Structure 1
Amino acid sequence: MSYTDPDDSLPEHVPGEAEMSAQKEAILKQILEPQARMRLSNIRMVKPETAAALESHLINAASQGRLAGKISDEHLKQILQSMQKPRREFKINRR
């Protein structure tokens, strides 16, 4: 019997998590203005799941060619508002 290494079945170059993260950051750096990148990093600290959803949305839009130029901070705010679920307003009537 011959021993086969389980790692032999894997391709030579499997992108690691760090490499994918660096690639994502490079793409975001190309499509976001500095103020928008700063806002995204602030969002990432407070709400990581929202930041991840926003990043994937932006990268998908960029890869499909739906972005014209860099995204400004104001445009990023608009995208964030469109991604958020509408909040219900509660009105309390006092008698």
Structure 2
Amino acid sequence: MALDSAKKREIIAKFGNDEKDTGSPAVQIALLTERINEINEHLQQHKHDHSSRLGLLKLVGQRKRLMRYLKRKDHDKYLEVITALNLRDRV
């Protein structure tokens, strides 16, 4: 379920300031979104996998906290990220 390194590099290149920028909130939100999407696909097939469902809820909460932080600190970047990732503005 982990992201492969090529996919991670692609996301970091798209949302980061440079190729080593893995800690910025925008990159973290994008990586979490990709992991959330993969777990959602997994749960479509394995409906009774409750441990993955709990992990999904944890990731969603973490992404929500990062989105709240980014919205507060850099609203323009926040709008750019939610538009690129096709997320709703519910924070």
TM-score, normalising length: structure 2:
0.28
TM-score, normalising length: structure 1:
0.28
Larger Rg: 1
